[in-house]
């Protein structure tokens, strides 16, 4: 009986402290979040995507020129 009570109490304590830890981590993450940082990250991602597409188009155009096939 005391074994079960001991492990029940240990589980309750682990749950309480685990929930408190998770709550504090979530609060810290929310405090560090800013819309400006998100916008900067998205803009950087968009710039990388545009550069990748431009390089891809240039590569395709170069291969078309080298193959002798006329471009439109």
Domain-wise residue ranges, the chain: 1-33, 34-72
Which token pair is 61?
């155009």
Is residue 48 packed enough to be buried (19+ CB in 10 Å), middle (13-18) or exposed (0-12)?
A: exposed
The C-alpha atoms of residue 29 and residue 34 are separated, in whole angstroms, by: 10
The C-alpha atoms of residue 45 and residue 47 are separated, in whole angstroms, by: 5
Query: pTM for the whole thing?
Result: 0.49
Identify the three-state secondary structure at position 12: helix
Specify the pLDDT at position 33.
85
More confident residue, 71 or 17: 17
Which token pair is 39?
């916008």
Which token pair is 3?
């074994």
Give 15-61 pLDDT, tens digit per residue: 999 999 999 999 998 888 888 988 999 999 999 999 999 999 999 98
């Amino acid at each position: 009986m005391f074994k079960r009570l001991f492990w029940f109490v240990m589980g309750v304590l682990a749950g309480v402290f685990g929930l408190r830890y998770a709550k504090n981590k979530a609060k810290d993450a929310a405090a560090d979040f800013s819309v400006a940082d998100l916008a900067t990250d998205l803009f950087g991602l968009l710039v990388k995507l545009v550069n990748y597409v431009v390089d891809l188009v240039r590569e395709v155009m170069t291969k078309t020129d080298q193959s002798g096939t006329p471009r439109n």
